[in-house]
Chain A
Amino acid sequence: SQKIEQNSEALNIQEGKTATLTCNYTNYSPAYLQWYRQDPGRGPVFLLLIRENEKEKRKERLKVTFDTTLKQSLFHITASQPADSATYLCALDRAFGNEKLTFGTGTRLTIIP
Protein backbone atom coordinates (compact mmCIF):
# COMPACT_ATOMS: atom_id res chain seq x y z
CA SER A 1 0.00 0.00 0.00
CA GLN A 2 1.03 3.62 -0.46
CA LYS A 3 2.72 5.16 2.52
CA ILE A 4 4.24 8.50 3.51
CA GLU A 5 6.47 8.70 6.59
CA GLN A 6 7.92 11.78 8.20
CA ASN A 7 11.04 10.94 10.15
CA SER A 8 9.92 11.82 13.60
CA GLU A 9 6.90 13.09 15.40
CA ALA A 10 8.88 15.79 17.17
CA LEU A 11 12.23 17.50 16.65
CA ASN A 12 13.97 20.02 18.91
CA ILE A 13 16.65 22.26 17.41
CA GLN A 14 18.76 25.02 18.94
CA GLU A 15 18.09 28.50 17.58
CA GLY A 16 20.45 29.42 14.76
CA LYS A 17 21.09 25.82 13.70
CA THR A 18 19.74 24.12 10.58
CA ALA A 19 16.63 21.99 11.05
CA THR A 20 16.32 19.03 8.68
CA LEU A 21 13.04 17.16 8.30
CA THR A 22 12.63 13.96 6.30
CA CYS A 23 9.76 12.65 4.23
CA ASN A 24 9.95 9.10 2.89
CA TYR A 25 7.40 7.43 0.68
CA THR A 26 6.71 3.99 -0.75
CA ASN A 27 4.63 2.80 -3.67
CA TYR A 28 4.14 6.28 -5.09
CA SER A 29 5.35 7.78 -8.31
CA PRO A 30 4.52 11.40 -7.54
CA ALA A 31 4.79 14.12 -10.12
CA TYR A 32 5.62 16.54 -7.34
CA LEU A 33 5.97 16.89 -3.61
CA GLN A 34 4.83 19.74 -1.41
CA TRP A 35 5.70 21.03 2.05
CA TYR A 36 3.33 22.86 4.36
CA ARG A 37 3.53 24.51 7.74
CA GLN A 38 0.71 24.16 10.26
CA ASP A 39 0.29 26.07 13.52
CA PRO A 40 -2.03 24.70 16.25
CA GLY A 41 -5.71 25.07 15.38
CA ARG A 42 -5.00 26.64 11.99
CA GLY A 43 -5.03 25.47 8.40
CA PRO A 44 -1.83 24.31 6.71
CA VAL A 45 0.11 26.99 4.83
CA PHE A 46 1.84 26.09 1.58
CA LEU A 47 5.62 26.59 1.61
CA LEU A 48 7.30 24.90 -1.36
CA LEU A 49 6.57 22.56 -4.25
CA ILE A 50 9.24 20.52 -6.00
CA ARG A 51 8.71 18.57 -9.21
CA GLU A 52 10.02 15.08 -9.98
CA ASN A 53 12.58 16.43 -12.43
CA GLU A 54 13.94 18.98 -9.92
CA LYS A 55 16.62 18.06 -7.42
CA GLU A 56 16.44 21.12 -5.19
CA LYS A 57 14.30 24.19 -4.56
CA ARG A 58 15.00 27.19 -2.35
CA LYS A 59 12.95 29.98 -0.87
CA GLU A 60 14.63 32.37 1.53
CA ARG A 61 15.84 30.21 4.48
CA LEU A 62 14.02 27.11 3.21
CA LYS A 63 15.46 24.39 0.99
CA VAL A 64 13.80 21.23 -0.28
CA THR A 65 15.44 18.30 -2.03
CA PHE A 66 13.67 15.49 -3.86
CA ASP A 67 15.34 12.16 -4.60
CA THR A 68 12.98 9.93 -6.60
CA THR A 69 15.49 7.05 -6.48
CA LEU A 70 15.64 7.05 -2.70
CA LYS A 71 11.94 8.06 -2.55
CA GLN A 72 12.81 10.79 -0.12
CA SER A 73 12.51 14.52 0.35
CA LEU A 74 14.52 16.58 2.82
CA PHE A 75 13.27 19.94 4.10
CA HIS A 76 15.84 22.30 5.60
CA ILE A 77 15.35 25.50 7.57
CA THR A 78 18.64 27.36 7.95
CA ALA A 79 19.37 29.88 10.71
CA SER A 80 16.32 28.61 12.56
CA GLN A 81 14.30 30.95 14.78
CA PRO A 82 11.73 30.32 17.54
CA ALA A 83 9.06 31.62 15.11
CA ASP A 84 9.80 28.59 12.91
CA SER A 85 8.32 26.33 15.60
CA ALA A 86 5.33 24.56 14.04
CA THR A 87 4.27 21.24 12.54
CA TYR A 88 5.59 20.63 9.04
CA LEU A 89 3.73 18.38 6.63
CA CYS A 90 4.86 16.81 3.40
CA ALA A 91 2.30 15.92 0.75
CA LEU A 92 2.38 13.90 -2.45
CA ASP A 93 0.03 13.81 -5.38
CA ARG A 94 -1.21 10.34 -6.24
CA ALA A 95 -2.03 11.25 -9.81
CA PHE A 96 -0.56 13.66 -12.27
CA GLY A 97 -2.75 16.49 -11.15
CA ASN A 98 -3.42 18.14 -7.86
CA GLU A 99 -6.63 16.47 -6.87
CA LYS A 100 -5.39 13.46 -4.90
CA LEU A 101 -2.95 15.06 -2.50
CA THR A 102 -2.01 12.79 0.40
CA PHE A 103 -0.35 14.17 3.52
CA GLY A 104 2.13 12.72 5.95
CA THR A 105 1.29 13.00 9.64
CA GLY A 106 3.82 15.75 10.17
CA THR A 107 6.86 16.59 12.27
CA ARG A 108 6.43 18.98 15.19
CA LEU A 109 9.48 21.24 15.17
CA THR A 110 10.47 23.26 18.23
CA ILE A 111 13.27 25.82 17.99
CA ILE A 112 14.82 26.34 21.40
CA PRO A 113 16.12 29.87 22.14
Chain B
Amino acid sequence: EAQVTQNPRYLITVTGKKLTVTCSQNMNHEYMSWYRQDPGLGLRQIYYSMNVEVTDKGDVPEGYKVSRKEKRNFPLILESPSPNQTSLYFCASSLQGNGYTFGSGTRLTVV
Protein backbone atom coordinates (compact mmCIF):
# COMPACT_ATOMS: atom_id res chain seq x y z
CA GLU B 1 0.00 0.00 0.00
CA ALA B 2 1.33 3.44 -0.97
CA GLN B 3 1.82 5.42 2.20
CA VAL B 4 3.81 7.81 4.34
CA THR B 5 4.71 6.30 7.70
CA GLN B 6 5.55 8.46 10.70
CA ASN B 7 6.72 7.27 14.06
CA PRO B 8 5.92 7.65 16.84
CA ARG B 9 2.21 8.62 16.76
CA TYR B 10 2.35 10.09 20.23
CA LEU B 11 5.31 11.38 22.20
CA ILE B 12 5.65 13.13 25.54
CA THR B 13 9.12 14.39 26.34
CA VAL B 14 10.90 16.83 28.60
CA THR B 15 12.45 20.14 27.68
CA GLY B 16 15.94 19.78 26.23
CA LYS B 17 15.89 16.05 25.52
CA LYS B 18 16.81 15.46 21.89
CA LEU B 19 14.29 13.53 19.85
CA THR B 20 13.77 12.32 16.29
CA VAL B 21 10.49 11.77 14.49
CA THR B 22 10.92 9.38 11.59
CA CYS B 23 9.18 9.59 8.24
CA SER B 24 9.33 7.08 5.43
CA GLN B 25 7.52 6.87 2.07
CA ASN B 26 7.30 3.91 -0.32
CA MET B 27 6.19 5.78 -3.47
CA ASN B 28 9.60 6.92 -4.80
CA HIS B 29 8.51 10.56 -4.37
CA GLU B 30 11.17 13.22 -4.82
CA TYR B 31 9.47 15.89 -2.71
CA MET B 32 9.11 15.52 1.05
CA SER B 33 8.02 18.07 3.63
CA TRP B 34 7.36 18.53 7.33
CA TYR B 35 4.46 20.57 8.68
CA ARG B 36 3.24 21.45 12.12
CA GLN B 37 -0.41 22.13 12.81
CA ASP B 38 -1.59 24.34 15.65
CA PRO B 39 -5.13 25.54 16.45
CA GLY B 40 -5.92 28.78 14.66
CA LEU B 41 -2.65 28.75 12.74
CA GLY B 42 -3.25 25.88 10.36
CA LEU B 43 -0.50 23.87 8.71
CA ARG B 44 2.87 25.61 8.61
CA GLN B 45 5.84 24.25 6.71
CA ILE B 46 8.96 23.52 8.75
CA TYR B 47 11.39 22.10 6.18
CA TYR B 48 11.16 20.58 2.76
CA SER B 49 13.33 18.49 0.48
CA MET B 50 13.35 18.35 -3.29
CA ASN B 51 15.50 15.24 -3.47
CA VAL B 52 18.32 13.37 -1.75
CA GLU B 53 20.73 15.76 0.00
CA VAL B 54 18.62 18.79 -1.04
CA THR B 55 16.77 20.42 1.85
CA ASP B 56 15.63 23.95 2.64
CA LYS B 57 13.80 25.92 5.27
CA GLY B 58 10.08 26.43 5.25
CA ASP B 59 8.21 29.08 7.22
CA VAL B 60 8.99 27.94 10.79
CA PRO B 61 12.38 26.14 10.79
CA GLU B 62 13.77 27.44 14.10
CA GLY B 63 14.53 24.65 16.55
CA TYR B 64 14.32 21.87 13.95
CA LYS B 65 16.75 19.98 11.73
CA VAL B 66 16.20 17.53 8.91
CA SER B 67 18.27 15.26 6.71
CA ARG B 68 17.60 13.43 3.44
CA LYS B 69 20.27 10.79 3.02
CA GLU B 70 17.95 8.38 1.22
CA LYS B 71 15.02 9.14 -1.03
CA ARG B 72 12.49 7.32 1.15
CA ASN B 73 13.40 8.80 4.56
CA PHE B 74 13.10 12.32 5.90
CA PRO B 75 13.54 12.44 9.69
CA LEU B 76 12.73 15.53 11.77
CA ILE B 77 15.15 16.25 14.60
CA LEU B 78 14.50 18.43 17.62
CA GLU B 79 17.92 18.97 19.21
CA SER B 80 16.61 20.72 22.32
CA PRO B 81 12.81 20.63 22.41
CA SER B 82 10.92 23.41 24.15
CA PRO B 83 7.25 23.65 25.21
CA ASN B 84 6.44 25.90 22.23
CA GLN B 85 7.20 22.94 19.98
CA THR B 86 4.22 21.07 21.41
CA SER B 87 2.16 20.47 18.30
CA LEU B 88 0.76 17.98 15.79
CA TYR B 89 3.39 17.18 13.17
CA PHE B 90 2.82 15.83 9.68
CA CYS B 91 5.23 14.47 7.13
CA ALA B 92 4.18 14.48 3.47
CA SER B 93 5.57 13.45 0.10
CA SER B 94 4.73 14.01 -3.55
CA LEU B 95 5.88 13.99 -7.12
CA GLN B 96 6.27 17.39 -8.77
CA GLY B 97 2.94 18.75 -9.94
CA ASN B 98 0.89 16.27 -7.89
CA GLY B 99 -0.90 16.37 -4.59
CA TYR B 100 0.82 15.45 -1.37
CA THR B 101 0.33 12.21 0.53
CA PHE B 102 0.38 12.89 4.27
CA GLY B 103 1.33 10.66 7.14
CA SER B 104 -0.99 10.01 10.08
CA GLY B 105 0.69 12.59 12.27
CA THR B 106 2.79 12.72 15.43
CA ARG B 107 1.33 14.42 18.45
CA LEU B 108 4.25 15.82 20.43
CA THR B 109 4.02 17.23 23.94
CA VAL B 110 7.06 18.91 25.50
CA VAL B 111 6.81 19.47 29.25
The 8 A CB mask of A36-54 against B (1 = contact, 0 = none) is: 1000011111111100000
Known: A46-B99, A49-B98, A49-B99. A98 touches B31 (CB 8 A): yes
CB <8 Å contact, B102 and A100: no
Write out the residue numbers on chain A whose beta carbons fall within 8 Å of the beta carbon of B33: 99, 101
Contact B97 A98 (CB under 8 A): yes
CB distance from A32 to the nearest CB of B (A): 7
Q: How far is the CA of A97 from the CA of B35 in the complex (A)?
A: 17
Residue A103 lies at the interface, judged by CB distance under 8 Å to chain B: yes
Q: Does B56 contact A (CB under 8 A)?
A: yes
Is the Cβ of A43 less than 8 Å from the Cβ of B104?
yes
A101 vs B46: C-alpha distance in the bound complex, in angstroms? 11
Verify A43–B31 contact, CB threshold 8 A.
no
Q: State A41–B95 Cα separation when bound (angstroms).
A: 25
For residue B103, which residue of chain A has the nearest CB? A43
Give B68-91 as 1s and 0s: 1 = Cβ < 8 Å from A's Cβ atoms.
000000000000000000000010
Contact of A105 among B41, B48, B96 (CB under 8 A): B41
Which residue of the partner chain, among B31, B97, B102, contacts A44 with CB atoms under 8 Å?
B102
Q: Does A104 make an interface contact (CB < 8 A)?
A: yes
Q: Do B42 and A89 touch across chains, with their CB atoms under 8 A apart?
A: yes
A44 and B43 within 8 A (CB): yes
A89 touches B43 (CB 8 A): yes
A-to-B contact residues, CB < 8 Å:
32, 34, 36, 41-49, 89, 97-106
- Other CB < 8 Å A-B pairs besides A44-B92, A105-B41, 17 of them? A32-B97, A34-B99, A42-B105, A44-B102, A46-B100, A48-B99, A97-B96, A98-B31, A98-B94, A98-B95, A98-B97, A99-B31, A99-B48, A101-B100, A103-B42, A103-B44, A105-B40
Q: 8 closest pairs, A vs B, by CB? A: A46-B99, A43-B102, A105-B42, A103-B43, A99-B48, A98-B31, A44-B102, A98-B96
